[in-house]
Each structure stands twice: as structure tokens, then as C-alpha cells.
Amino acid sequence: MTKKYQVLTGMHDLTDPEIKKWQLIEKTAREIFRNYSYEEIRTPLLESTELFVRGIGEDTGVVSKEMYSFLDKGEDSVTLRPEGTASVVRSVINQNLFRHKPQSKLFYMGPMFRYERPQKGRLRQFHQIGCEVFGSSSAYADIEAIAVADQLFKKLKIKNYQLKINSLGLIEERKKYLEELKKYLKPHQDLMDEDDQKRLLKNPLRVLDSKNEKLQEILNQAPKLLDHLSEDSKIHWQEVLKGLDELGIKYEIDTRIVRGLDYYVRTAFEFTSNDLGSQSAFAGGGRYDGLIEELGGPKSSAVGFAIGMERLVMLLDDNLSLDSSPIYLAYSGDSIKLEAFKLCQKLRDQNHEIHFSLDDKSLKAQLKQADKFGCSKVLILGEQELQKDSITIKDLKTGKQEEVLVSDLEDKLTL
Ligand code: HAM
């Protein structure tokens, strides 16, 4: 027997009907991005490995464990992008965008790859909708980025979600705090697993993100970075919170939001939902002013976020209007098929979604198919109708039937 191939672990085919939810999210996101004057950017899925090592940070879980990296045929180490930010920064530096367009807002949609242990809401190929705003150090940029995400979730009628927000200060002001945190955590080292012990040495901030049950109470009582902010960072933080208050965006200050990527400074945030189980964050982002310089660009500011599509889809109400009411065009008799086919073309040209049986089928079989495709209406063209230049419209929900002139059909369908 010929071997059947399976989709790789942690990867999925996206098919109907679920894909309709993806399309709705993408369409709504595009509209919102347009309203906030964002432009789309599409970067390659493959980049040099070094870009992510430098951009995301060598000691992060993403870089140290999760990257799909390999040598290409030219012996160069390349990596399937695990996130979008580093690639977008590389691209804007390459385009010299900082000179031409000192402030720019970009969005992207597409697959990302992380070799993680798959579970509900955690995949190896997952998809993000993300955006990056360059050139503004103002708190208004942080507020607006959060507002974009929040508006999208509200438009999609997502219920039961929280915005968790923190300030990570600037790298300089973090140094003293990290020493204090290390001192506080050291006596509890024996409760930590191997990964947390390593983090304690290299990047103690990340221990705050630990899910280890035994550490939770200790971490809740840990010294807080918010108490160690410089005057400027404090003002920035207060401005962000005031802006959110003014826009009516609810938030929860969570001093344990540290994010899994190294580039963040000042504002860091996550959108979470208890409906998602353990992988509760369905979007995350923050400010990352230093990254542009770190990747060879000029000194500049940036803020952005990314939404995990798979997780957002899980939160979408099944009853949300999926913006599709296909119509089935049925014909009774082979001699009518060509006329019906021509009418199909005309209706599609008028922007209607039409199902049509390419293979010869009885009228009964076509009606069955219409039901299967979830069509709202069936148009029936038979010998009689053809003679009169008319067509029968059957409403599949009510069962009601009426005969109309083909010339009136367009008006009837758009009612
Ligand atoms: P991140 O928090 O690593 O941030 O990812 C953003 C979102 O992607 C997460 O909140 C989650 O919903 C989704 N996600 C991450 N990993 C997986 C996975 N293995 N399976 C399914 N979903 C996943 C970033 O990637 C930053 N680049 C966001 C950003 C943009 N910060 C500034 N600009």
C-alpha cells in the first residue's frame, strides 16, 4: 500500500468551516489597521539565525530551545521566524525607513515557528497578527497600540478577557533592581527547577514568569520593578495608565508580566483569557526602544504587539456572523446545465457566492448538496423557467418558494 503522510506534530491544516473565522478576524483587523493608518509589511519566513539570537536574546527560551534553525545549501545558518518583530526591524533598517519616514506604523499577518511541546493553544507552526510602530517615544504610542488590540477584540465580541500591564523600566534602571531580586530569590533556589536556576543566574527577571507551583507565593512577594523606576519612566508609566483610563480600557497592573523576549523596556502587556486554559495569553507586546540600535539601525523608539491567531479563534463566539450566505444554483435536466452555468458566471460577477454542481446530478441530489454547503437559498432553473426567462428562488430556512424574472434576480438577492 502507498504510504499516507500525516501533517507534522504541532502543525495544522486550516480548512472550512474554521477558516471562515480566520478570514473574519483578518478582515476586521485590516479594517482597524487602516483606520489607525497602518501599512502592511510581508517579510520572508526565513532569516539569518543571528538576527533572532541578537534580536530576541540568547538566553530566552525561544532562542535557546525553540528555533527551527538549519544550515542551508550555502552552509549559512538560517531560521524559520519564531516571531515577527526582529524581521520587521531588520526590514525597516534595510529600507532606511527611519530617514524617509521618521514615524511609521506597520502590520503583518502570517505563520511563525517555535519547536515547543504541543498542547491546546500551543503549536509549532502558529500564526500571528502583529503591528509595530516606529519613531515615537511618547506614551501615546503605547496607549494607541493597546487601543488597536482592544478595539479589535471588542469588534470581534470577545468576552471575558483581561489586559495585564507592567513597566519594565529602562535597562540601566533595571540593573540595581535585578541585584535586589537575585538576593531575594537566592535563598529559595532549592525550590527551583533547573531552568529557573539557570534564569536566576542569567536573567532573574524571567524567574518571575515561572509557573512552578512551589514558587508562586514567593514570587508574589518579590520586590517590584515598578518601585525602582526612574522619574522619567514613572511619568511615562503614569501617562500610559491615564490614557487607558481616559479611553475606558480596563487593565490590571501585574508586576509579574516580564514577557519571554529580551527586547522590552518600559511598557509590557498581555491580553489573557481564563477561557483558554494554561496557555492563557492570546496577545502580548510592549515597548522595545533599544532593539533598532541593537540590530544596526539608528537610535529610535518602537512599540508593538502580536496576537496569537489560534488562541483568538478559540475565543471567537461560534454564533458570530461569519459574513457568508452562499447561494446554490440548481438545474433540472442536463439540457439546462449550460444556461444555468452562464447565469452562475453572471451572478458571481455581481459579487454573489454561488455553489454549482459541475458534475451532472439530479435536482434532489443538488438540493441535498445545497443543504450540506449551508446555503441560505437555492435558485432553481428548469425547462419551464427557461421558457419564461424566470427562475425559482427557494429559501432553505423557511421553505418558501417564489418565481421571479431573471432580470429582477439581482434586486431580490440583495434585499
Ligand atoms: P509573544 O508573546 O512571544 O510575543 O507572542 C505573541 C502571541 O503569540 C502570544 O500571546 C500567543 O498568543 C501567540 N503564541 C506564541 N507562541 C505560540 C505557540 N507556540 N502556539 C500558539 N500561539 C503562540 C511576540 O512574538 C512579540 N513579537 C510581540 C511583539 C510585537 N512585541 C512587540 N511587537
Measure 281 CA to ligand 1 centroid, in angstroms. Answer: 8
Which ligand 1 atom sits closest to the C-alpha of 123? Answer: 20
Is the confidence at residue 373, as pLDDT, over 70? yes
Global confidence as pTM: 0.89
Ligand 1 pocket check for 57: Cβ under 6 Å: no
CA-nearest of 70, 65, 102, 67 to 86 is 67
CA-nearest of 189, 237, 185 to 208 is 185
Measure 112 CA to ligand 1 centroid, in angstroms. Answer: 9
Q: CB-based contacts of 339: which residues, under 8 Å, 6+ apart?
A: 331, 381, 386
Residue nearest to atom 17 of ligand 1 (CA): 122
Ligand 1 pocket check for 142: Cβ under 6 Å: no
Ligand 1 pocket check for 374: Cβ under 6 Å: no
> pLDDT-based confidence at 36, cuts 50/70/90?
very high
Measure 256 CA to ligand 1 centroid, in angstroms. Answer: 17
Measure 315 CA to ligand 1 centroid, in angstroms. Answer: 16
Distance, in Å, from the CA atom of 121 to the CA atom of 266, rounded to the nearest integer, reads: 28
Q: What is the mean pLDDT of residues 211-239?
A: 93
Instruction: Tell which one of 12, 258, 303, 311 to mutate to probe ligand 1, the residue whose CB is within 8 A of the most ligand atoms.
Output: 311
Measure 146 CA to ligand 1 centroid, in angstroms. Answer: 15
pLDDT over 70 for what percent of the chain? 99
Is the confidence at residue 324, as pLDDT, over 90? no
Q: CB-based contacts of 364: which residues, under 8 Å, 6+ apart?
A: none
Residue nearest to atom 14 of ligand 1 (CA): 308
Ligand 1 pocket check for 85: Cβ under 6 Å: yes
Report pLDDT for 322.
Answer: 62
Instruction: Give the mean pLDDT of the chain.
Output: 94
Report pLDDT digits (tens) over 239-284. Answer: 999 999 999 999 999 999 999 898 999 999 999 999 998 899 999 9
> pLDDT-based confidence at 384, cuts 50/70/90?
very high
